[in-house]
Structure 1
Amino acid sequence: MSQTSCTSKPKALTLDQAVARLIQAVQPLTETETVALADALGRVLAEPVRSAIDVPPWDNSAMDGYTIRISDLAASGGCLPIAQRIPAGHMGEPLALGTAARIFTGAPIPDGADTVVIQEVCRESAGEVQIPLDIQVGANIRRRGEDIREGSTVLAAGTRLSPQHLGLAASIGCSALQVYRRLRVAILTTGDEIVEPGVPLQQGQIYNSNWYLLAGLLRHWGCEVLDLGIVHDDLGATVAALNQASKADLIIASGGASVGDKDHLRPAVEQLGQLEFSEIRIRPGKPVAFGRVGQTPILGCPGNPVSLFVTALLFARPLIRRLQGIDPDHPPRLLPVRAAFDWPKPDRRMEFHRARLVRLEDGELGVEVYPSRSSAVLSSVVWADGFVQLEPERVLQRGDRVEFLPFSELLS
């Protein structure tokens, strides 16, 4: 009796399973460099930043006003001679008994003073100042080390540096930071129909929006982009392009990841390395492939531009953050809102539909969805400011609670 053997089709992964596999499959870069603080925006810290000073470095005035010794008020009836003037950036003399000092915001508190009284409640005349008697001791003084203590860690390794991080580093005197080198990501865009913007379109051609979309995301995430150009729908051309791309830290391809006659990414990866998974149970973006070309990880995304955008945000982002040394245990935050739409025909897969926030009639925050589910309508991701995350098989009615995933969370 003859036997027939067959290989079962690999089961499509869930979103969480795929992200976990991606994070486990790669290790962070180890190469670092020192960059000037002014050039560190968007870079990822390779080591923690600790303060060598207290911030503030001394007690200082939080307001423009008068600094006094609170015990002098009662005996003087609140009227004190002004013995000195202390602007910011200057140290005053010790405060003499029974006197006040005119002081300005940020100026050091002189020895002997224990309170600052704001100028709005004081009355100055003929070298004296009249101060209310009901002033609280210690008012309007910023204490030494109130913000940062010497020796404390102010920025953790793995932090992607935003403007506020640079300001904090500057406040403790840092002029340079140790960061990971930029991640080098090679981009392949596949398709015989694709031409570059600026060239007149011929019958059947489309412009290469995918490269600009993907390159923009990668540069926004602090990566160095290596352009492998447009790869024709040919197995040999795909293999050659992947060989060239393998010098990068990561390869991302748009198009060619499905199973059609003109989709050559999967067989090319299997010829040069290993394919680890090739389908994910989401819409749009089911044909997402991940594997290795030699030792270089590769993420294959769909060619439809909306599918590329969705899969880049959901899968390329956590993969890149892991390679950059950013803590992967902080998934993007979902915002619970009410649906301003009906959803009578759900998909069997989890769906990430283009959506934007609106204010409902009762004043509560809601979300509306783009009227088309087509993954070719790129204008929809400009219309939207995020995705509504729709669970498989869930029928929704207007007013139901849903989860909104802002683009701002995914672009960080």
Structure 2
Amino acid sequence: MVPSEHAGDPSEDTSNLPPAESLTAEPLTVEQWQERVLASVGRTGDETVPLADAQARTVAVDVRTRHPVPLFDNSSMDGYAVRHSDVRGATPEHPVQLVVVADAPAGSGADPVLPAGAAVRVMTGAPVPSQADAVVPVEDTVEHHDAGRWVEPTDQVASVHVLAEPVPGRFIRRTGEDAESGTTVLHAGRVLTPAALASIAAAGWDAVRVSRRPRVVVVSTGSELVAPGTPPSRGMIPDSNTALLTALVQDAGGVVVDRALVSDDPARLLALLDALSPDQVDAVVLSGGVSAGAFDVVKAALTDHGSVTFARLAMQPGKPQGFGRLASGIPAYCLPGNPVSSLVSFELFVRPALAAMLRRSVTRREVLEATAGAGWSSPAGRRQYIPVSVEHDGGAPVVRPSAAGGSGSHLVASLAAAEALAVVAEGVTEVRPGDRVGMLPLA
């Protein structure tokens, strides 16, 4: 059985909390903390960007077509535009011969006259003459008759033989059949995908109004942290949270404007935070120092500073959390320092907040159903979120802890194998192979 995270995780240990808090304060639920965070989220402004720079941005205002799509009746096949009445009953045994009176290549603005007994050669995407009501694909024609023998089509012909009666209207893309002029093709709040960008271009726009990306400062705290790549001496560990949180912010639609690594010095941390301007920063994400230990720098610095408050949540990992506004008014998201705790906390609280800033639709993420492929323990009274790998065998996904050590919030090296978070209900203390659990896919 995988050991519980209680072992070796001081940030999750209630014994470090003051007696009054550990004995009398009821932990908040994940949903209660989400509501607190989202209730105070403001929105960023708008900006117009060219389509070439709009991938993964968020639509700020509805996008409507400037013209019908398609703009005109056009052919979906290479072939011949005809009057259906002229080719009724055509078969290979009894072909109908028509005079070719004009060519209509793609890009042509001409509308050739189509008299009875005539055809206009059209290319895919070319305008269909107004007097035509059918298109005969080139595969159903031959372009001339030579001594009773059908031959291959030629480029220059004066007549064409139709071998099959076309269906009226078939192979003609009608004006506005995809969208009439003024149709909303994208609503505000949509994240722009390559397909969505194609829709905007087809609607007649070369730029789009989007929500400005939230500008975020990432601060990792802890005197034990050294920059990645620096050989750590005894007692020191590489800072992985800065890389983790920077990538998560970018994935959630934000832009990291600064990053900082701060020791357990409240004065230094406050000096850094007080220097930030709300004109240049929309949010600060801090990791570490949010519990009740003697060196918990974030809690020590921000208690009674602005409106930042700290709480215990009925979850594992990520029990200690902090949120509020700095004295400058900038929102501050204070996450536990253990990397798995930071990841889980970001997904549950910061990602929805950034989505709200971007005016994206913020809905509670659907918890999918999965089957446990291995067993592990879960703390009583706390909802567990454990990184897992996922296997698909045709039924419900099968999940296993991505770390050999189980649910420890310090197990960062194995995070690369995590594809989702398994969600274990508060009343479950042991997950057995074959049990059903929840699953939140990771981006």
Question: TM-score, normalised on structure 1?
Answer: 0.89
CA 1:214 to 1:276, structure 2 compared with 1: closer, same or farther past 3 Å? same
Q: Report the equivalent of 2:59.
A: 45
Question: Which one scores higher on RCO, CA 8 angstroms, separation ≥ 6?
Answer: 2
2:378/2:384 contact within 8 Å kept? no
Residues 255-404 of structure 1: pairs in structure 2 closer than 5 A: 255-294=288-327, 295-328=329-362, 330-343=363-376, 347-360=380-393, 363-370=394-401, 371=404, 372-394=406-428, 396-404=431-439
Identical counterparts, % of pairs: 35
Q: Report the equivalent of 1:89.
A: 107
Is residue 2:218 matched to residue 1:215?
no
1:228/1:245 contact within 8 Å kept? no
Q: Higher Cα Rg: structure 1 or 2?
A: 2
Distance in 2 separating the partners of 1:102 and 1:365: 54
Distance in 1 separating the partners of 2:83 and 2:432: 67
After TM superposition, give the deviation of residue 256 of structure 1 in Å. Answer: 0.7
Distance in 1 separating the partners of 2:80 and 2:383: 63
Q: Report the equivalent of 2:119.
A: 100
Q: 1:190 aligns with which of 212, 217, 221?
A: 221
Distance in 2 separating the partners of 1:94 and 1:282: 75
Q: Report the equivalent of 1:3.
A: none
1:44/1:326 contact within 8 Å kept? yes
Q: Report the equivalent of 1:178.
A: 209
SS in 1 for 2:397: strand
RMSD: 2.3
Q: Report the equivalent of 1:54.
A: 68
Deviates more, 1:37-46 or 1:390-399: 390-399
After TM superposition, give the deviation of residue 37 of structure 1 in Å. Answer: 2.2
- Deviation string, structure 1 residues 212-268 (Cα, Å, up to 9, x no partner): 111112123332313252111122222222222464211110111111111121232
Distance in 2 separating the partners of 1:119 and 1:273: 74
After TM superposition, give the deviation of residue 270 of structure 1 in Å. Answer: 2.1
Is residue 2:37 matched to residue 1:22?
yes
Gaps spanning 5+ residues in structure 2: where? 1-19, 146-158
1:46/1:157 contact within 8 Å kept? yes
Distance in 2 separating the partners of 1:216 and 1:261: 30
Is residue 2:164 matched to residue 1:132?
yes
- Tell me the number of residue pairs that the alignment of Structure 1 and Structure 2 aligns: 398
CA 1:65 to 1:263, structure 2 compared with 1: closer, same or farther past 3 Å? same
Counterpart of 2:51, as a letter, is: L
2:371/2:399 contact within 8 Å kept? no
Question: TM-score, normalised on structure 2?
Answer: 0.83
1:353/1:369 contact within 8 Å kept? no
Gaps spanning 5+ residues in structure 1: where? 1-5
SS in 1 for 2:284: strand
Q: Report the equivalent of 2:129.
A: 110
Counterpart of 2:336, as a letter, is: P
Distance in 1 separating the partners of 2:333 and 2:196: 31
After TM superposition, give the deviation of residue 392 of structure 1 in Å. Answer: 1.8
Counterpart of 1:391, as a letter, is: A
After TM superposition, give the deviation of residue 78 of structure 1 in Å. Answer: 4.4
Distance in 2 separating the partners of 1:332 and 1:163: 23
Q: Report the equivalent of 2:155.
A: none
Distance in 2 separating the partners of 1:336 and 1:64: 49
SS in 2 for 1:216: helix
